[in-house]
Amino acid sequence: MQPILKVENLSHKYASSWAIREINFEINDTGVVGLLGSNGAGKSTTMNIICGTLLQTEGSVSINGLNIKDDPIAYKKQIGFLPQQAPLYMDFTVQEYLEYSAQLRLMDRRLIKGAVEEVLEKTSITQMRSRLIRNLSGGYRQRVGIAQSIINKPKVVVLDEPTNGLDPNQIIEARKLIKEIAQDRAVLLSSHVLSEVNLLAKEIIMIESGQVVFADTLDAFNNILQPNTLVARMLHMPAPEELMAIEDVQKVEMLPDHKCRIYFQANDDLAERIVRKSTEKNWRLTSIQAESSGMDDVFKQLSSNSSSILH
């Protein structure tokens, strides 16, 4: 089975400097894949090459086996793109702009009217069809931008910071829309907001210094720094040796306020066994909770571990 999107040994050089070097990843299913990276990491270069607006120095990009270099027009018919600044024409009505977007994608003229109606409904902007785009709120403009990116029913949609500049209510609506359009296509979502990626993506690709430093599931990303620790508070705190005697406990660190940190081998029922032991020994356990690192910590670790691109 062909990957929906395959990026293979992708490299690009500006003047004498490599912006990206040997980028490799695949998207094999529908849904949202988060694309992460700090400023200057190579995300924009990678997205522009995938979308066909920049010709790579080396490597290949294909959608369902169709290589962009072999047939760029057919390839581009399979992709939708919403840049960080949506390419909107302010003096067009919403309907005029979507019809124009369909024509740019060389859609069959007989299919354009139906396609416009479909995306108007899907993005909930049917009632705005006759409005000038300049008179729309930021949230509705973003909906129009998303509508143009899916009007040709592409296999892959690339969204660059799609909630940037929106208010909290608009962000919620935009996220809901992204989830809906990802049900039947692959969505590559670039964002600096890690919490947003956490809410939307099922897989993560992270680029730093022009190279892929992580490509795996969201769970694997979140678990990178997870230290397998529990923090327990007990009014009658036992000696560390007593806790160490519990199976799978590897280390005990005493903390202020009747607390301790327990390091352990992966074990789903350890907390339950500590609760039982506390009852048995009258340790008077008042709280116990697992610790895990946030996405920002993971991001920082992967960023710091990445190597620099050779110039």
The two tokens of residue 147 are 């509508």
> In sequence order, which residues have a C-beta less than 8 Å from that of residue 45 and are 6 or more positions away?
12, 19, 20, 54, 210
How many C-beta atoms surround the C-beta of residue 204 within 10 A? 25
pLDDT at 119 > cutoff 50: yes
- SS3 call for 164: coil
Residue scoring higher pLDDT (115 or 38): 115
Per-residue CA distances from 204 to 62, 111, 301, 309 (Å): 19, 35, 15, 21
Distance CA 295, CA 298 (A): 5
Residue 268: per-residue pLDDT: 62
Q: Is the dihedral of CA 10, 24, 295, 265 positive or negative?
A: negative
Note whether 142 and 170 are within 8 A (CB).
yes
Per-residue CA distances from 234 to 14, 37, 226, 227, 240 (Å): 60, 42, 23, 21, 12
How many C-beta atoms surround the C-beta of residue 258 within 10 A? 16
pLDDT tens-digit series, residues 102-114: 999 999 999 999 9
Residue 265: per-residue pLDDT: 75
Mean pLDDT value of segment 151-173:
91
Mean pLDDT of the chain, nearest integer: 90
pLDDT at 183 > cutoff 90: yes
CA nearest to 303, candidates 210, 230, 239: 210
pLDDT tens-digit series, residues 293-306: 666 667 777 776 66
Banded pLDDT at 129 (limits 50, 70, 90): very high
Residue 296: per-residue pLDDT: 65
Residue scoring higher pLDDT (128 or 291): 128
The two tokens of residue 157 are 């949609």
Distance CA 54, CA 48 (A): 5
pLDDT at 309 > cutoff 50: no
What domains are defined for the chain? Answer: 5-222 (3.40.50.300), 229-291 (3.30.70)
pLDDT at 157 > cutoff 90: yes
Residue 66: per-residue pLDDT: 95
Could you give the strand order of the β-sheet that contains 58-63, starting from the edge strand earlier in sequence? 17-27, 5-14, 58-63, 66-67
221 Rama sector, left if φ>0, alpha if ψ -120 to 50, beta otherwise:
alpha
pLDDT tens-digit series, residues 76-103: 999 999 998 888 999 999 999 999 999 9
pLDDT tens-digit series, residues 196-252: 888 899 999 999 989 999 999 988 887 776 667 899 999 999 999 999 999 889 999
Distance CA 3, CA 26 (A): 6
Banded pLDDT at 75 (limits 50, 70, 90): very high
pLDDT at 310 > cutoff 60: no
pLDDT tens-digit series, residues 48-66: 999 999 999 999 999 999 9
* Residues above pLDDT 90, as percent of the chain: 72
pLDDT at 193 > cutoff 90: no
Residue 203: per-residue pLDDT: 95
Note whether 258 and 231 are within 8 A (CB).
no
